[in-house]
Structure 1
Amino acid sequence: MAYSTILHFVPVISTTSSLWFAWDQYEFLTLFRKPDLRGLSNELLPSYFTSFFNRGAPRVLALLTTTVISCGSILRYSPSTILRDSAPWYIAGLSFALGHQVFVPFILPSIQAIKNDGKEKNVAELESWLRVHTWRSLTVDLAAWVCCIVAASKSLAHD
């Protein structure tokens, strides 16, 4: 398997990981919304979410950066014969990965409110964050993943 062939798998792997991580975030954080845990969740969320965000954000940025750089490298260095049908898909995958950042202004207020301990409002802020997170995951993250899979499939069919 040639180096260029392996490179076409990198954005597929990074977008798959990004989407999986988004799903895990949703699954683990929705536990704090359980009605019988609401009081305890309001108390625990500032500490938990601060740690969670400080550890998770660099991972998300690393995955997005990997997608952007690998798609850009493929577009820059692959022969035009390989990119004939896949270039628009790589451009779209790269664009959707960058689109993840468009949601930052919509989630930042909830992140700050939870980290600053909004007391009885922490679960409500988490719910707000989860709504935006879900929309982001089902739009730009899912679209980036699909585009990178289609792009790699089309590229490898010409390799």
Structure 2
Amino acid sequence: MASTVVSEGLPTILHLVPVISSTCSLWFAWDQYEFMTLFRKPDLQDLSNKLLPSYFASFFNRGAPGVVGLLTTTLFSCGAILRYSPGTTLHDNGAFPWYAAGILFAIGHQTFIPFFLPHVRAIEKDAKEKNVAELSSWLRVHTRRSLTVDLAAWVCCIVATVKALP
């Protein structure tokens, strides 16, 4: 009896993993935006220009593994669902293209690296009075990425899960 419960519950849990990981990715992106915009307050810009190099180095060293972990979780869980779902179940209920799109959008997150990395490097190397301007540029790229591929991956994972679960 216990093995039946586990074997019946595992697919539901597996289908929820990409929803959870993509939700966490989106939430983390929102938090980054909220916390980083504080450095742009006009009355803090002089101090922000001084603090941003050390803050950014710590911020990315600590935050990047979490972001990579969440994206990897989304990729592998969607991939596992596509690979191990029985027969044509995902095609029959229309979930297959949504899981595939979730994978593509999660990968799409990485395509923004060349657009934001120069701003990160400039701040880490201390662009002096331009650190806040570099942060503003990074935030523009970050916002575009969050509102396109991160949001799209989240929507795809939710739709796929809703279609896949009975």
TM-score by length of 2: 0.93
Superposition pairs for residues 21-60 of structure 1, below 5 Å? 21-60=28-67
CA distance in 1, matches of 2:122, 2:153: 29
Q: Computing the radius of gyration over CA atoms, which structure comes out larger, 1 or 2?
A: 2
Task: Give the secondary structure class of the aligned counterpart of 1:112.
Answer: helix
CA distance in 1, matches of 2:105, 2:117: 20
CA distance in 2, matches of 1:115, 1:54: 11
Tell me how far 1:80 sits from its aligned partner. 3.2
Do 1:82 and 1:156's aligned partners in 2 also have CA atoms closer than 8 Å?
no
Q: Partner letter of residue 82 of structure 2?
A: L
5+ residue gaps in structure 1?
none
Superposition pairs for residues 1-159 of structure 1, below 5 Å? 2-84=9-91, 85-157=94-166
Q: Partner letter of residue 4 of structure 1?
A: P
5+ residue gaps in structure 2?
1-7
Tell me how far 1:79 sits from its aligned partner. 1.4
Q: Taking every aligned residue pair, what percent have the same amino acid on both sides?
A: 73
Q: Partner letter of residue 31 of structure 1?
A: L
Tell me how far 1:82 sits from its aligned partner. 3.0
Please, which moves more after superposition, 100-109 or 74-83? 74-83
CA distance in 2, matches of 1:80, 1:19: 32
CA distance in 1, matches of 2:65, 2:123: 19
Tell me how far 1:156 sits from its aligned partner. 0.2
TM-score by length of 1: 0.97
- CA RMSD of the aligned region, Å? 0.8
Tell me how far 1:81 sits from its aligned partner. 4.3
Number of residue-to-residue matches in the alignment: 157
Where in structure 1 do 4 or more consecutive aligned residues deviate above 3 Å? none
